[in-house]
Chains A and B, each alone.
Chain A
Amino acid sequence: MVKLNFDENKCLACETRDCLTKCQYLDMDAEEAGAEMEKIIAGKDSRVLHECRTCYACEEYCPMGNHPFYLIVQRQEELNIPPLPEPIIKQGVQLGIPFRGDPEIEEIGGRVLNMGVFSPLTHLARGKLFEGLTLMSTDSRKMHHFFCQLMYLHFARTSVINERLPAVIDTILAYKPTEVVHFHDECYGAYTSYAPAFGIEVPFKSIHLFEHLYHRLLELKDQIRPLNYKVAYQRPCSSRLSPDGHAYVDKIFDLVGVKHVEREYVDENALCCGSTILSQRQEGSRRYCLELQKKNIADMKQAGAELCIFNCPACMQTIGKQVAENGIMPIWMSDLCRMAIGEKPD
């Protein structure tokens, strides 16, 4: 039975209400936050359900290990308060429909690399860092079979995730992997945070890309030449579901010899790339998104970043160009690591 495992009592007992008071997009004190959370728990309307920017961050802020974000999204769906216009939701939901046949699956029986829906980006997973990892889904036309569906958290559609995720898990399982390295934070979050929260069984072990990269870099340590760049990191929303994976960012930066610049919008305080905010129904969302992006990039610039490191294709697509136009080079995390061991990214 797929049901959100949300402990109301833990939430009601919380004093800090960090989930909402720390939110960068809602201005709320602890008292109001408490009252709004109570409404949400009771299945009643709340301004949070209308004003949420779906940045996932409250999942990380919650000091009780509860699931405030999943609850908000579930309530948005139940009360029909979609954050996005209907055609955008329909488009998004249809995006995950496989349409070019089933993948040909061969048992691998070892460590596998899951590119999720991003199999057209397999060029990012080449070279020594990925040796020993077998890529599932080499056929990019079959990518939707590996799509973790978590994107629908932005669409107020936990029902779609819950309906489709078990089949995706079965597909991965059919490869008989011993461990699954997930290229995208979103997939890692789906299998290590979302699925357990909803009681969906995941019978394989998941590893975050950054953890994998870090350990491979350690193995290749003698080949690392410090890159000596000043870098900013664009933290994706789904990384909020895997703070354990995020912890590797600075470790990797240290290993490859780049300086993570000190800036305001970093780690817990990171800003959303704006991808989903752009289209939201709330009045003025388009301009709000632009302001957010400007603020984010200005902060990188002011901190002296020469490179901006991305891991999320949506972030890269949304602000990569703007970042470049501002004189900061956008670059993938895996490419940065490859450069450090003397490889040339494809």
Chain B
Amino acid sequence: MDSIYKALVDIVGEDYVSNQKEELFTYSKDLGTSEPQWPNYVAAPKTADEVSRIVKLANEQNVAVVPLGGGMSLAGLALPLKGGIEMDLKRMDRILELNVKDRYVLLEAGTSQGKLTAYLHRHAPNLMHSEPGAPPAATIGGNLAIHGQGDLGHPYGFNSDMINGLEVVLPTGEICRFGSCALGNDWYTMHPLPDVSLFMGWSGSTGIITKVSLRLFPCKKINEQDIFLLEDEELVPEVLYELTHVGMAEDMMVVSQEIPPPFNRLHYVMVNIAGDTRDELEFKRQLMFDGKLAEYIKDGRGGIGAAGMDIERPVISKTSDWRKGGGFEYVGAIVPVTSYPQCYRHGVEVSARHGIPYTTLGRVLGTGHSMMFSWTFAFNRADEDTVRHSREALHETDEAVLKMGGTLWKPAVFGQKLVMKQMDEGTLQVMKKVKHMLDPNGIMNPGNWEVA
């Protein structure tokens, strides 16, 4: 029998390892436009210790290890580009500690967003975490590994800025802790020790996050969505400036898409607000709509499209239904809010050129400090020509983002290469040193963030 397979069976047990084609098949694909990439093995560890032993084995055998959470990142980031062991972390989904008073939850990194949300609804209904708009099967660890953002993006920024501690298995197998937990204390803060946490944004190529202490925030009793509509994209940044000035929203997104028609060439500023009482909500609405935005309403340039709606998760995935075949992938970038008009126009132009109905979305991060902007390209999985068009549109958008002065978010390998080509040489060298120091044999998610 294959010695690596046998060693993996020893570590995780026979039920949680496979080298069978029919099982590897599932792991060879992701949801986007990437070509299939086959792993040689898939293993699903249950503990950090098992993760560590697998990583050590991989070093000994010189095979790659690719961490996999929910596999929802779309850009092929968790595909085994160089074969090896696909490490499925979904069994590491225990919620270990809920500290209501100090507002954090300690959990295993394979816990899904949906599980945590359901858990909090039940055990701490007045607390919430910043859930990304991804399908609920996405994991906490996977989202942090790519600097995700979610429901509380406006007040608190990136999800990766909302952590109080980490446990990571290094590419050489050591298990390390960062934050107050490194002193054996509770998991209540990430700062103020010297900053050596080098795992966010690396797409799992510097280590495997196994535990996370996640900050929790007040969850108000009533959560609703209001919509402010604009036609002129040039007005979006100033309206967001006014809205972020009053700071009443939890999450703020701007959506424009060709289909369905009511969204076409219009900008839906979606403002999520929360309150424990109707009066609290009304106070917030007064500040937002009866203050500065009143001018836009009066002169007819902007209008309240809806108020008090139930909050739906972002509906980007629905755009994949607007053409047959149900596929989509997006380029995400972090850009200044003032770039919105340019980003939007690019989306309309590139989509039209590739025969794809355009879909764009911007999410405000922090108090208008930046914006995650995404360009979504739908394709028909059964029609290679439409897949090719989407792939080309994605690549052209990667290039356009950098030309516009944007920063690519969770880029696929194509985008990573563009980023590194443009990157300051000094920074690039630090990345190279970090990667080499932590992963001397280059076994962690190889192909990603590889500095030449």
* A, B bound: yes
Assess whether A87 is in contact with B231, with CB atoms less than 8 Å apart: yes
If A286-B289, A290-B282 touch, whether A94 touches B300 (CB-CB below 8 Å) is no
CB-contacts of B115-174 with A (<8 A): none
Residue among B262, B264, B267, B296 making CB contact with A85, cutoff 8 Å: B296
If A99-B259, A281-B297 touch, whether A286 touches B304 (CB-CB below 8 Å) is yes
Over the window 77-109 of chain A, the binary record of Cβ atoms lying under 8 Å from chain B Cβ atoms (1 yes, 0 no) is: 000001011111011101101010000000000
Over the window 249-281 of chain A, the binary record of Cβ atoms lying under 8 Å from chain B Cβ atoms (1 yes, 0 no) is: 000000000000000000000000000001101
For residue A162, CB closer than 8 A to chain B, the reply is no
For residue B245, CB closer than 8 A to chain A, the reply is no
If A85-B300, A284-B290, A286-B290 touch, whether A95 touches B229 (CB-CB below 8 Å) is no
Assess whether A279 is in contact with B260, with CB atoms less than 8 Å apart: no
Our count of residue pairs bridging A and B at CB distance below 8 angstroms stands at: 69
A contact residues around B229 at 8 Å (CB): 85, 87-88, 91
A contact residues around B298 at 8 Å (CB): 281, 283
Assess whether B297 is in contact with A86, with CB atoms less than 8 Å apart: no
If A85-B297, A286-B304 touch, whether A94 touches B231 (CB-CB below 8 Å) is no
Over the window 256-272 of chain B, the binary record of Cβ atoms lying under 8 Å from chain A Cβ atoms (1 yes, 0 no) is: 00011110111100000
State the Cβ distance, A89 to closest chain B Cβ, in Å: 8
Residue among B260, B289, B294, B302 making CB contact with A87, cutoff 8 Å: B302
For residue A138, CB closer than 8 A to chain B, the reply is no
For residue B285, CB closer than 8 A to chain A, the reply is yes
State the Cβ distance, A323 to closest chain B Cβ, in Å: 13
For residue A193, CB closer than 8 A to chain B, the reply is no
Interface size grouping (class) on chain B: 20 to 34
Assess whether B264 is in contact with A279, with CB atoms less than 8 Å apart: no
- The closest CB in chain A to the CB of B303 belongs to A85
A: number of interface residues (CB 8 Å): 24
Assess whether B262 is in contact with A91, with CB atoms less than 8 Å apart: yes
A95 to B259, CA, bound (A): 11
For residue B230, CB closer than 8 A to chain A, the reply is yes
A284 to B261, CA, bound (A): 29
A136 to B259, CA, bound (A): 24
A contact residues around B301 at 8 Å (CB): 85-87
A286 to B262, CA, bound (A): 22
Assess whether A91 is in contact with B302, with CB atoms less than 8 Å apart: no
A contact residues around B294 at 8 Å (CB): 283
Assess whether B303 is in contact with A321, with CB atoms less than 8 Å apart: no
Assess whether B261 is in contact with A94, with CB atoms less than 8 Å apart: yes
Residue among B261, B278, B289 making CB contact with A95, cutoff 8 Å: B261
B contact residues around A16 at 8 Å (CB): none
Assess whether A97 is in contact with B266, with CB atoms less than 8 Å apart: no
State the Cβ distance, B265 to closest chain A Cβ, in Å: 8
A contact residues around B300 at 8 Å (CB): 82, 84-86, 281
Assess whether A278 is in contact with B302, with CB atoms less than 8 Å apart: no
For residue A192, CB closer than 8 A to chain B, the reply is no
A97 to B294, CA, bound (A): 30
A91 to B301, CA, bound (A): 13
CB-contacts of B266-290 with A (<8 A): 266-267, 278, 282, 285-286, 289-290
For residue A285, CB closer than 8 A to chain B, the reply is yes
A85 to B296, CA, bound (A): 8
State the Cβ distance, A257 to closest chain B Cβ, in Å: 33
For residue B325, CB closer than 8 A to chain A, the reply is no
Assess whether B290 is in contact with A287, with CB atoms less than 8 Å apart: yes
A87 to B259, CA, bound (A): 16
If A99-B260, A278-B307 touch, whether A91 touches B266 (CB-CB below 8 Å) is yes
Assess whether A88 is in contact with B264, with CB atoms less than 8 Å apart: no
B contact residues around A86 at 8 Å (CB): 231, 300-301, 303
B259, B297, B301, B305: most-surrounded residue (chain A CB, <10 A) = B297
For residue B405, CB closer than 8 A to chain A, the reply is no
State the Cβ distance, B282 to closest chain A Cβ, in Å: 7
For residue B355, CB closer than 8 A to chain A, the reply is no
State the Cβ distance, B428 to closest chain A Cβ, in Å: 45
Assess whether B303 is in contact with A286, with CB atoms less than 8 Å apart: no
Assess whether A279 is in contact with B305, with CB atoms less than 8 Å apart: yes
CB-contacts of A278-319 with B (<8 A): 278-279, 281, 283-287, 290
If A286-B290, A287-B290, A321-B308 touch, whether A84 touches B303 (CB-CB below 8 Å) is yes
- 5 contacts across the A-B interface (CB closer than 8 A): A85-B297, A90-B265, A91-B229, A91-B305, A286-B289
Q: Which residues on A are within 8 Å of B, measured CB to CB? A: 82, 84-88, 90-92, 94-95, 97, 99, 278-279, 281, 283-287, 290, 321, 325
3 residue pairs, one from A and one from B, having the closest CB atoms: A85-B303, A88-B303, A87-B229
Q: Which residues on B are within 8 Å of A, measured CB to CB? A: 229-231, 259-262, 264-267, 278, 282, 285-286, 289-290, 294, 296-298, 300-305, 307-308
Known: A87-B267, A88-B305, A281-B300. 14 other contacts (CB 8 A): A85-B297, A85-B303, A87-B231, A87-B305, A88-B304, A90-B265, A92-B262, A95-B261, A278-B304, A283-B294, A286-B290, A286-B307, A290-B282, A321-B308
